[in-house]
Structure 1
Amino acid sequence: MNKPIMLSAAMLMVLGCSQQPEKQTDKRPNIVYIMSDDHGYQAVSAYGYGMNKTPNIDRIAAEGALFTRATVTNSLCAPSRAVLLTGKHSFVNGKVDNVQHFDWEQDNFPKLLQRAGYQTAMVGKIHMDGLPQGFDYSAVVPGQGQYYNPDFIVNGKKEQIHGYVTDITTDLALKWLEGRDEDKPFCLLFHQKAPHREWLAAERHYKEYTKMKFPEPETLFDDYEGRGTAAKSAEMNILKDMNWAGDSKIKPELMDELGIPPTLNWDKNAYNNNLGRMDSTQRAAWDSVYDPINEDFKKRYPSMSKEDLMRWRYQRYMQDYLATVAAVDDGVGRVLDYLKEHGLEENTIVVYTSDQGFYMGEHGWFDKRFMYEESLKTPLMIRYPKEIKAGTKIDALVQNLDFAPTFLDYAGAEIPSDMQGESFRKLVSGETKDWRDAIYYTYYEYPSIHMVKRHYGIATDRYKLIHFYYDIDEWELYDLEKDPHEMRNVYDDPSYKSIREEMHAKLDELRKKYKDSDENDKKYIDSYLSATSGKK
């Protein structure tokens, strides 16, 4: 097993003190795009929800711009990443769900940056099959990756690296930055696996976070009245649908002792496989913290009500989830410090975002997929001192569709006419306020895990129109100003008749603009069912 690739704090201090600011011959801006997996905006302290502290991520917002209405076009891991790379909607780039193949032969913005003279690298999670194209260097985790002693595919060669995945991903990113050609501009895609399920934190964080208690969202016990079939039939309730062993970290043998059946067929396997990757020292440290949690649960379980269990599982979820976020924030800090110490801060665009939003107990849920706010919205902050004033706040409807053309714009490279996103460079610099007034969304992966029904829709700054289709035909309309938690579907409310008509007209307009259609929906239903044999 290989030793961990580490740049020690001492080494970085020596490099920072001894090295003069780097003399980059090509003065075009560098790009560091940091993306975590399933990091809800609620768990970034810059957004003010008070759940946790992310001081390093917050630095990007404080020194640059914070986006309050950033959204995705398809709230699912692989499709979101395909949209990032191509600047095209899922139904155009072909990666509509986690099942369909992604065609790496199509153009993407890193390829275009390479042609324009940039060095490019991808480190961390991409969650798409095939060797990433458009990168001079890639070190990616296969599939979802593992938290402890993970496998990486480094320039096409698989190897296991000892340590904690978030720290290793940061090490690899810093190692590439250290070894790049200093005369050329660079673009680094720095993608963390965390905080994706099943939320195994680093020792330094789980020892702290398992002692914490977190505030409950006011909709934790939502009964889904006032909405349609889709919300009521989804399988992502923390009490009912979260795995006991894999997610809540109840030992499989204790589940058997207490008569708790597995939630899904991979419940116990997830626990055994994840912890089975640990070495004896890592496992001993883990057991010293989680064994007492199991013992306490064993004593309490027989007398716990469903409400007690929901509250207990919510706290367990938040403890592990937010602990994994803490390591992501550590990594962001290390990269920001590197840029500062090496004189790269002024000429480097730094982005922090997630591949989509995530439920942290709102409506009783975990996961994403829906076009509802917690899933649709994503954290986004950008720092670029040359053009973006510190403390900037952007309320415009920016999407992950816009990253590719924005980066090409900053690099002075040509933006292909078939890219569907728009550069928000002038928006964030304050040169213009002219921007789209609605965003378009699609979701395809059904029937599948969590059973979120297929849907598409649009959102403006105030209203949201959603069409659930395939095995149902239902419309939902929400007034986000009066109903920010989306508890009441007003589609059939007579007082919203004119709004409903306006939103339908705008939906038709955007489907035409982006070249979506019912034929696309049918095509991807057929291809998905063929690939999955129509099984859940």
Structure 2
Amino acid sequence: MSEKKKSLSILRRAMAGAACIVACMAAVPAPALAAPKETAAPAPQQTRHRNIIFVLVDDLRYDGMGFLQPGLLKTPNIDRMAKEGSYFPNAVVTSSLCSPSRATILTGQTARNHGIVDNNDSSEAGLTYFPSYLQQAGYNTAFFGKWHMGSEADGPRPGFDKWVSFKGQGNYWPAKAESAHSSPNLNVDGKAVPQQGYITDELTDYAMNWLQKERDPNKPFFLYLSHKGVHSDPLPPPRYAHQYDKAKFTLPDSAADTPQNNEGKPVWVRNQRNSWHGIDFFYNADVPMTEYLKYYYGTLSAIDDSLGRIMDYLRKNKLDKDTLVVFTSDNGYMVGEHGLIDKRNAYQASVRVPLVVWEPGTVPAGAVNEGRIRNLDFAPTFLDVAGAARPKQFEGKSAWALWEGKQAVTDWKPGDFIYEYYWEYNFPMTPGTFAIERDNVKYIQYYGVWDTDELYDLNRDPDEMHNLVDDPAWAAKKQELRVALYQQLADRNGRHNIPYGARLSIGAVRRDVDGQHAADFPSNWYVKPNPTDRLDPILPDSPAKLKAQAAGKPLVYTPPLKEELTRQVEGAGKP
């Protein structure tokens, strides 16, 4: 059976008996059936080439900026950027994990198509990074910082005229020895050069030197500054080591282990509380999150300094009105929401990221733009800004008209937000996760685990506290989103594949010996033997099934197994 016929068959079975089957199928775009070639559409007309600076932070929360937490956080340069530019509160990533997200930014493709699905050294073969197209459009390009996408190797990648990077996660301070995943050296244009000091400052020094002395002043430039900070374990420089000593950080309400918070949550979520990525035992240590955040935000202060140096250079050299600056993060970061920390899952604090866009005289100043931007949209936007042709393999859409303020938010049609995370053995506590958000309603399902799915009305429940997945009033919407999610998760060839790599260790399976033990299944999953609706949970949800449940009757009556076996045995051979 072809992939297209298989998909349609699944759709029909999923909506069997439902009057809404045709409407649901019409509402979902059909999966792509042919792989796009890496050719480009005609370039739009462009009157001038503007410079572009892309600043990427690692693991910064969506609200981790001073202007969003006044009186607590100190980020004067980010705050000034937001005051002089536009802030996008609904920015999200399609995969909340370092390598897949960075690959999406660079290729303009989702993880199911670019193939970088975890942090375990996936192949970069066959991928084209958008700076290559900027080079073709006449841009001088440079990369400084954390690559951490695909190969652990730190060598120069295609698309960049200048290159400064490091192995893997890199080090805040110079490493003492070479290892498989770490080095005391930086890779500077293919040569090993010893790291001298604090990584945020050193990367900024390299970037500033390129801006001031190395780039071609006769060409527009693209600068990609990819910070190591604020990734764990965050280490602020000495000047900020005690900046937040007296700060009083608080945890989200959902961090508390209460029946109210746990109601409706999957078993894996409750189990993860006592794990490497759980608030009770995070990173298998005993540092409270309220203390950890002092180091996290102290590390951010050095990044804020870095941004300030770049912006001062632009202003002093009268480049500010000809340079687009974009500040964001590769993924979100949870600090206790639902008892979890870090990222990977599809909850809001994991998928949402900060996004500030700045270009005086072009990007509206002091604006809060509600348009939803995905990391998938950066590549097409930057090529649009440069007047470069759009490659056909790009899956996102250009947000340049929205950023300029020429397109109203109501006219920005981002479509459904599709999320994908593929299970990795290193951190086995988070299952494979797929989600869809449509009209501010989010549906989440998990792959390969015995657990519940989730449905949230973000209009009324932005903190995702009330799982509506078993609410009869939301049954039609749930099934609509299930169907849409499946179709839109098809890759460019219309396939639904679950990628996986070699398992090389047991992973971070440890739990606090004095902490919470395994969580229980939902109470309504426990039944007595021989229910008359034994088959109903297996059958696709439908209005007929919902009607039967409301009446307290089975959709398909099933007698006790012993009776059925006896009847069939005794009736064997009889006409």
Counterpart residue identity of residue 93, structure 1:
H
Name the CA shift for 1:181/1:195 in 2 (closer, same or farther; >3 Å).
Answer: same
Aligned to 1:96: 117
Name the CA shift for 1:137/1:104 in 2 (closer, same or farther; >3 Å).
Answer: farther
Contact 1:145 1:151 (8 Å CA) reproduced:
no
Name the CA shift for 1:461/1:63 in 2 (closer, same or farther; >3 Å).
Answer: farther
Counterpart residue identity of residue 469, structure 2:
Y
2:234 matches 1:199: yes
Identity over aligned pairs, percent: 38
Name the CA shift for 1:158/1:97 in 2 (closer, same or farther; >3 Å).
Answer: same
Task: Quote how far apart the aligned CAs of 1:500 are.
Answer: 1.5
Aligned to 2:158: 133
In 1, distance between residues paired with 2:460 and 2:336?
Answer: 21
Contact 1:220 1:364 (8 Å CA) reproduced:
yes
1:450-494 deviations in Å (ceiling 9; x for gaps)? 621101111134211111012336421111122222122211111
Aligned to 1:346: 321
Counterpart residue identity of residue 232, structure 1:
R
Contact 2:51 2:222 (8 Å CA) reproduced:
yes
Task: Quote how far apart the aligned CAs of 1:418 are.
Answer: 1.2
Match of 1:145 among 167, 170, 190: 170
2:212 matches 1:178: yes
1:295-444 to 2 correspondence within 5 Å?
313-432=288-407, 433-444=411-422
Unaligned ranges ≥5, structure 2: 1-46, 175-183, 509-575
In 2, distance between residues paired with 1:511 and 1:531?
Answer: 25
In 2, distance between residues paired with 1:361 and 1:41?
Answer: 14
In 1, distance between residues paired with 2:361 and 2:147?
Answer: 30
CA RMSD of aligned residues (A): 2.1
Counterpart residue identity of residue 266, structure 2:
G
Task: Quote how far apart the aligned CAs of 1:359 are.
Answer: 0.9
Match of 1:496 among 474, 488, 500: 474
Aligned to 1:456: 434
Aligned to 2:132: 111
Name the CA shift for 1:430/1:497 in 2 (closer, same or farther; >3 Å).
Answer: same
In 2, distance between residues paired with 1:178 and 1:422?
Answer: 33
In 1, distance between residues paired with 2:198 and 2:110?
Answer: 34
In 2, distance between residues paired with 1:371 and 1:49?
Answer: 27
Aligned to 2:106: 85
In 2, distance between residues paired with 1:185 and 1:50?
Answer: 39
Name the CA shift for 1:225/1:64 in 2 (closer, same or farther; >3 Å).
Answer: same
Name the CA shift for 1:503/1:510 in 2 (closer, same or farther; >3 Å).
Answer: same
In 2, distance between residues paired with 1:361 and 1:348?
Answer: 38
Contact 1:121 1:187 (8 Å CA) reproduced:
yes
1:414-471 deviations in Å (ceiling 9; x for gaps)? 0111110110011222333231232111001333326211011111342111110123
Task: Quote how far apart the aligned CAs of 1:143 are.
Answer: 0.6
2:56 matches 1:35: yes
Counterpart residue identity of residue 42, structure 1:
D
Counterpart residue identity of residue 370, structure 1:
N
2:232 matches 1:232: no
In 2, distance between residues paired with 1:500 and 1:340?
Answer: 51
In 2, distance between residues paired with 1:241 and 1:357?
Answer: 16
TM-score normalised according to structure 2 size: 0.73
Name the CA shift for 1:51/1:377 in 2 (closer, same or farther; >3 Å).
Answer: farther
Aligned to 1:446: 424
1:334-369 deviations in Å (ceiling 9; x for gaps)? 111111111110000000000000012333332111
Per mean C-alpha deviation after superposition, the further-off stretch among 444-453 and 509-518 is 509-518
Name the CA shift for 1:230/1:239 in 2 (closer, same or farther; >3 Å).
Answer: closer
Task: Quote how far apart the aligned CAs of 1:510 are.
Answer: 2.5
In 2, distance between residues paired with 1:140 and 1:86?
Answer: 19
Task: Quote how far apart the aligned CAs of 1:207 are.
Answer: 2.2
1:133-165 deviations in Å (ceiling 9; x for gaps)? 210011012110111136311112222222211
Name the CA shift for 1:47/1:513 in 2 (closer, same or farther; >3 Å).
Answer: farther
Per mean C-alpha deviation after superposition, the further-off stretch among 464-473 and 37-46 is 464-473
1:110-136 deviations in Å (ceiling 9; x for gaps)? 111111110110001111324322100
How many residues are matched?
Answer: 439
Contact 1:447 1:453 (8 Å CA) reproduced:
no
In 1, distance between residues paired with 2:314 and 2:195?
Answer: 25
Counterpart residue identity of residue 280, structure 2:
L
In 2, distance between residues paired with 1:348 and 1:441?
Answer: 31
Contact 2:329 2:354 (8 Å CA) reproduced:
yes
In 1, distance between residues paired with 2:493 and 2:278?
Answer: 35
Task: Quote how far apart the aligned CAs of 1:210 are.
Answer: 2.7
Task: Quote how far apart the aligned CAs of 1:514 are.
Answer: 6.0
Name the CA shift for 1:161/1:448 in 2 (closer, same or farther; >3 Å).
Answer: closer
1:357-386 deviations in Å (ceiling 9; x for gaps)? 001233333211111000000001111234
In 2, distance between residues paired with 1:104 and 1:177?
Answer: 31
- Structure with greater helix percent: 1
Contact 2:56 2:225 (8 Å CA) reproduced:
yes
Counterpart residue identity of residue 164, structure 2:
A
In 1, distance between residues paired with 2:80 and 2:70?
Answer: 17
2:194 matches 1:160: yes
Task: Quote how far apart the aligned CAs of 1:315 are.
Answer: 2.2
Unaligned ranges ≥5, structure 1: 1-25, 249-312
In 2, distance between residues paired with 1:73 and 1:134?
Answer: 23
Contact 1:476 1:491 (8 Å CA) reproduced:
yes
SS at match of 1:219: helix
Per mean C-alpha deviation after superposition, the further-off stretch among 331-340 and 123-132 is 123-132
Counterpart residue identity of residue 211, structure 1:
K
SS at match of 1:42: coil
Task: Quote how far apart the aligned CAs of 1:49 are.
Answer: 6.9
Name the CA shift for 1:49/1:222 in 2 (closer, same or farther; >3 Å).
Answer: farther
Contact 2:82 2:358 (8 Å CA) reproduced:
yes
Counterpart residue identity of residue 194, structure 1:
G
Name the CA shift for 1:364/1:205 in 2 (closer, same or farther; >3 Å).
Answer: farther
TM-score normalised according to structure 1 size: 0.78
Per mean C-alpha deviation after superposition, the further-off stretch among 98-107 and 408-417 is 98-107
2:488 matches 1:510: yes
